[in-house]
Chain A
């Protein structure tokens, strides 16, 4: 029998899809063209709030090359795309609620004709007073953006008695923070392609995080059964949550025009359209009050969050659920009250962005924690350690954490790294006008969808062993650059005991794999990974039956070598042999695996219960240099220490975290999405600044604490979102420590530093 196969899980394996990407042969949506294909351009309201009186097409249709246009009148099914709350039309029929609310779609023989055609669609409208801020939207006499009012989402946690906690407090900190809109800034603009089938079916190709969302949206708008809509995921040029909800709308519009014309219809947004039209991170106002005893034990947290959800709710109910749960931080606090409200405004919908409502609350919470630590005379690490969630701790929702809680280890490592828990956090003069200091921030992150997404929190995988011993895998979650295909290949390889390069994990095809929910919430490794393991187990059982008929009843699957081991150590069937044997006996070597995330439920009134099945943890350490005269902040070094359970691929994991740090630096220091009077001013990458290679510290370190999770595949938890979550908070704390003035607003404003120093 052949020797042991080197385990793939835990090994550094280059991304399986990186070779064509290095050659430039990967075909993104902008590179895909079909014969007879129309190019489409969306037509926007171009005013923040208006009543649409008429949409007139003849002028647009008279443009040379323009073939057809679609409006709400052309939608065969329902003209709606609301994801959680049914508040969004596919094409605006009466009221346009933001600048880029889509009124029509123009299809033409070329992109130039399509955009010229789109600009010639005549919209007669009556401008309505726009509601631009949450402060306005909250007022009772404010105009209503939707018929039920401007309050879109409300969430709550009530644990213990906050006023009781306050009476037992020796120190109380009360502070209001704000966080900005953040744009995903993926480099590949969104696009999609709809191909009508001869039998009334339709096929969609799109760089989409959530092909199953698209399938539902298209079926609903076309009035088709789900079985007649097939969605094939194309390579995704970055997403970060931005290709979660938005592609559904775009695909459904393309589908309407494709059905109307009988031709394939594609669109790729310009950068300007992408910036103005697509969803963003929720800006928030965060009112925090927290207290502790003289000994530094947290006594209470009373938190109110106000989020701007934009024109439509899309994913806001789920994002703000996550904000609510994570608002009190990774600490044991006996008395907690969190109330979260999300309000409609006349701006682009706020949806999913990496961290999903968490970076905002972690920034506020970790700032307050630092202040309490100082009042209690403790170092920031000591204070956090004293209150940190541990195995057996009870969270703010009353959930007892029974396993895989690595927060203390991350904090202990941070302390070891800094060598000191007080001096490091003092300001240290660096030059005539510059000062340095360090800041830390910790977080917890509930992996996968949790109680709010309970029904969707399952996933499938189809594994097929081919007769040459190679393995074809289909999963329901997508790779958007984060390395899912690679990690899932490694999991499949180790489940079967074969080499990773014998496994091919395919991009999502909804025609092949069962609905696995969205690719979000750092859930792919767990959900698709476990589904692959389940499928492999089913196949292995069949192989063992065949093996037992040859080797005797003691035959068992040997994952260390791949194949069947007999009772004696020298007897056995290698993987190729058992595969041929199965084929010879006409045994089915395909299986669909299924994984259901353990149930999570919360009480609707108190928000008490099990919020998420398992949590990842992290502590980040930032060292900054602040120029007090110009307000410039330079991140000198950054250390991220993560507990994401077993790390399946250390290289792709490290790269994920490094990317998260960069986006977090962007959120902390650079990214300001400017809007004036309801119109976006940041319409390109010279007015929305994402960090360049010179704006990221050249001293980034990433470390992992391997805190095994029983339920995760090979002990893994989620990592993609935790990567960004504590970054801005750590930088803000470092800047506060350097300047002596608490940072209350992100991005950290140079002008404020200058004014305060």
Chain B
């Protein structure tokens, strides 16, 4: 019989106190979309479940001096329609790509991040936005970048008494392109076989700042630093974009599993990255003469 205690946290303080008390015996419950399955299948047997859905400050999202913060208990559906994410299409599209409407209605940003699935659809967008996570415990507050936070499948630097309170990123300024693409085996309720997000700016007809991240192609979501370097300062061309795709494929180190083979993941990661870059170049450097298309 599955037995556990529940703590219905009413405030952030109560949350942190409960976490301090139970430590690694605690599981945080926000949307519950993953937690309940883990409990039901015996993969997780917490002694205490701390419900944080009722903590108002964790549901907040705001912009303060150009910095957007998304509370840990903000749902995927909310991310897709919040004012603060307007124009940050990669993040909205990433949120929209998760699961099904019912999952997005209750599943939360913090859940997606803390689960640290290599295929998590929020990671690539947050990584190209250079997001940092605010982690709090009774001992204090610290901030870590996403790349530092996630070490492998389900492995993070979150300490047992810590809680992700929010993800924070600077809104890209000026003219920029941002996009997200995903290859899943269906168009809904699909776990990514590969996903990618980019943010791109241009200067004088050349790529300026380029950030690319991919998921489901390595033990953890990764930034494609070499590809970014390849593109930066270059004039877009079909050849260059193809090279970017090929280089992406090379940087990937995926597994073969029930959904797809290693080769396929590498191939399509390159394809979606080159398509996103192509969209970026079209949108940024052709003055919108042609409409952007989805990758």
Do A's and B's CB atoms come within 8 Å in the complex? yes
Binding site for B on A (CB under 8 A): 112, 116, 431, 433, 629-632, 670, 674, 681-682, 685-687, 689, 691-695, 750-751, 754
A751 touches B264 (CB 8 A): yes
A670 touches B186 (CB 8 A): yes
Closest CB of chain B to A119's CB: distance in Å?
10
Q: Give bound CA distance, A751 to B261, whole Å.
A: 8
Residues from chain A with a CB closer than 8 A to the CB of B190 are: 689
Given contacts A682-B258, A689-B190, contact A751 B185 (CB under 8 A): no
* 10 tightest A-B CB contacts, nearest first: A694-B187, A692-B188, A629-B271, A751-B264, A694-B188, A630-B268, A674-B258, A695-B186, A689-B186, A695-B187
Binding site for A on B (CB under 8 A): 1, 100, 183, 185-191, 258-261, 263-264, 267-268, 271-272, 293
Q: Give bound CA distance, A43 to B258, whole Å.
A: 27
A693 touches B188 (CB 8 A): yes
A-B contact list, 13 entries, CB within 8 Å? A112-B1, A629-B267, A629-B271, A630-B267, A686-B191, A687-B259, A689-B186, A692-B187, A694-B187, A695-B187, A695-B188, A751-B261, A751-B263
Closest CB of chain A to B101's CB: distance in Å?
11
B261 touches A681 (CB 8 A): no
Given contacts A112-B1, A629-B271, contact A751 B191 (CB under 8 A): no
B185 is contacted by which of A433, A689, A754 (Cβ under 8 Å)? A689
Residues from chain A with a CB closer than 8 A to the CB of B259 are: 687
Residues from chain A with a CB closer than 8 A to the CB of B185 are: 670, 689, 750
Q: Give bound CA distance, A431 to B264, whole Å.
A: 21
Q: Give bound CA distance, A629 to B264, whole Å.
A: 10
Closest CB of chain A to B277's CB: distance in Å?
13
Q: Give bound CA distance, A693 to B260, whole Å.
A: 23
Q: Give bound CA distance, A722 to B25, whole Å.
A: 55
Residues from chain A with a CB closer than 8 A to the CB of B267 are: 629-630, 754
Q: Give bound CA distance, A629 to B185, whole Å.
A: 14
Residues from chain B with a CB closer than 8 A to the CB of A674 are: 258
Q: Give bound CA distance, A687 to B41, whole Å.
A: 15
Q: A113 — nearest CB in chain B belongs to which residue?
A: B1
B189 touches A686 (CB 8 A): yes
A-B residue pair count with CB separations less than 8 angstroms: 51
Given contacts A751-B260, A751-B264, contact A691 B271 (CB under 8 A): no
Q: Which of A630, A682, A695, A751 has the most CB of B within 10 A?
A: A630
Closest CB of chain A to B120's CB: distance in Å?
15
A681 touches B187 (CB 8 A): no
Q: B259 — nearest CB in chain A belongs to which residue?
A: A687
Residues from chain B with a CB closer than 8 A to the CB of A670 are: 185-186
Q: Give bound CA distance, A570 to B261, whole Å.
A: 79
Closest CB of chain A to B263's CB: distance in Å?
7
Residues from chain A with a CB closer than 8 A to the CB of B268 are: 629-630, 754
Known contacts A670-B185, A670-B186; 8 further A-B pairs (Cβ under 8 A): A431-B293, A433-B271, A630-B268, A631-B264, A687-B258, A691-B186, A695-B186, A695-B187
Q: B238 — nearest CB in chain A belongs to which residue?
A: A432
Q: Give bound CA distance, A361 to B267, whole Å.
A: 33
Q: A630 — nearest CB in chain B belongs to which residue?
A: B268
Q: Give bound CA distance, A246 to B94, whole Å.
A: 42
Q: Give bound CA distance, A682 to B267, whole Å.
A: 25
Q: Give bound CA distance, A682 to B258, whole Å.
A: 8
Q: B194 — nearest CB in chain A belongs to which residue?
A: A630
Residues from chain B with a CB closer than 8 A to the CB of A632 are: 183
Q: Give bound CA distance, A694 to B186, whole Å.
A: 8
Closest CB of chain A to B90's CB: distance in Å?
19
Closest CB of chain B to A233's CB: distance in Å?
31
Residues from chain B with a CB closer than 8 A to the CB of A687 are: 258-259
Q: B100 — nearest CB in chain A belongs to which residue?
A: A692
Q: B185 — nearest CB in chain A belongs to which residue?
A: A689
Given contacts A674-B258, A686-B191, A687-B258, contact A754 B186 (CB under 8 A): no
Closest CB of chain A to B160's CB: distance in Å?
29
Q: Give bound CA distance, A631 to B194, whole Å.
A: 13
A750 touches B186 (CB 8 A): no
A692 is contacted by which of B186, B191, B263 (Cβ under 8 Å)? B186
Residues from chain B with a CB closer than 8 A to the CB of A694 are: 186-188
Q: Give bound CA distance, A686 to B257, whole Å.
A: 13
Residues from chain A with a CB closer than 8 A to the CB of B1 are: 112, 116
Q: Give bound CA distance, A493 to B272, whole Å.
A: 59
Q: Which of B186, B261, B272 has the most CB of A within 10 A?
A: B186
Residues from chain A with a CB closer than 8 A to the CB of B188 are: 692-695
Q: Give bound CA distance, A462 to B31, whole Å.
A: 53
Q: Give bound CA distance, A631 to B264, whole Å.
A: 10
Residues from chain A with a CB closer than 8 A to the CB of B271 are: 433, 629-630
Residues from chain B with a CB closer than 8 A to the CB of A681 are: 258
Q: Give bound CA distance, A670 to B259, whole Å.
A: 11
Q: Give bound CA distance, A685 to B37, whole Å.
A: 13
A692 touches B258 (CB 8 A): no
Residues from chain A with a CB closer than 8 A to the CB of B183 are: 630, 632
Q: Give bound CA distance, A685 to B103, whole Å.
A: 15
Closest CB of chain A to B141's CB: distance in Å?
36
Closest CB of chain A to B187's CB: distance in Å?
4
Given contacts A689-B186, A692-B186, contact A754 B264 (CB under 8 A): yes
Closest CB of chain B to A94's CB: distance in Å?
31
Closest CB of chain A to B209's CB: distance in Å?
26
Q: Which of B100, B264, B272 has the most CB of A within 10 A?
A: B264
Q: Give bound CA distance, A630 to B249, whole Å.
A: 13
Closest CB of chain B to A110's CB: distance in Å?
10
B189 touches A692 (CB 8 A): yes
Closest CB of chain A to B280's CB: distance in Å?
15
Q: Give bound CA distance, A387 to B188, whole Å.
A: 42
Q: B187 — nearest CB in chain A belongs to which residue?
A: A694
Residues from chain B with a CB closer than 8 A to the CB of A754 are: 264, 267-268
Q: Give bound CA distance, A641 to B267, whole Å.
A: 39
Residues from chain B with a CB closer than 8 A to the CB of A116 are: 1
Q: Give bound CA distance, A88 to B78, whole Å.
A: 54
Residues from chain A with a CB closer than 8 A to the CB of B186 are: 670, 689, 691-692, 694-695
A750 touches B187 (CB 8 A): no
Q: Give bound CA distance, A695 to B189, whole Å.
A: 11
Q: Give bound CA distance, A431 to B293, whole Å.
A: 10
Q: A691 — nearest CB in chain B belongs to which residue?
A: B186
Q: A692 — nearest CB in chain B belongs to which residue?
A: B188
Q: Give bound CA distance, A685 to B189, whole Å.
A: 9
Q: Give bound CA distance, A715 to B21, whole Å.
A: 75
Q: Give bound CA distance, A738 to B100, whole Å.
A: 31
Residues from chain B with a CB closer than 8 A to the CB of A693 are: 188
Q: A676 — nearest CB in chain B belongs to which residue?
A: B258
Closest CB of chain A to B190's CB: distance in Å?
7
Q: Give bound CA distance, A689 to B1, whole Å.
A: 30
Closest CB of chain A to B64's CB: distance in Å?
37
Q: Give bound CA distance, A691 to B184, whole Å.
A: 12
Q: B293 — nearest CB in chain A belongs to which residue?
A: A431
Q: Give bound CA distance, A750 to B1, whole Å.
A: 43
Q: Give bound CA distance, A116 to B272, whole Å.
A: 46
Closest CB of chain B to A698's CB: distance in Å?
12
Q: A693 — nearest CB in chain B belongs to which residue?
A: B188
Closest CB of chain B to A728's CB: distance in Å?
17
Q: Give bound CA distance, A685 to B183, whole Å.
A: 18
Closest CB of chain B to A426's CB: distance in Å?
24
Residues from chain A with a CB closer than 8 A to the CB of B293 are: 431
Q: A747 — nearest CB in chain B belongs to which residue?
A: B185
Residues from chain A with a CB closer than 8 A to the CB of B260 are: 750-751
Residues from chain B with a CB closer than 8 A to the CB of A630 are: 183, 267-268, 271-272
Residues from chain A with a CB closer than 8 A to the CB of B189 are: 685-686, 689, 692
Q: B260 — nearest CB in chain A belongs to which residue?
A: A751
Residues from chain B with a CB closer than 8 A to the CB of A750 are: 185, 260, 264
Closest CB of chain A to B157's CB: distance in Å?
28
Q: Give bound CA distance, A631 to B187, whole Å.
A: 14
Q: B2 — nearest CB in chain A belongs to which residue?
A: A112
Residues from chain B with a CB closer than 8 A to the CB of A685 are: 189
Q: Give bound CA distance, A632 to B194, whole Å.
A: 13
Closest CB of chain A to B104's CB: distance in Å?
14
Residues from chain A with a CB closer than 8 A to the CB of B191 are: 686
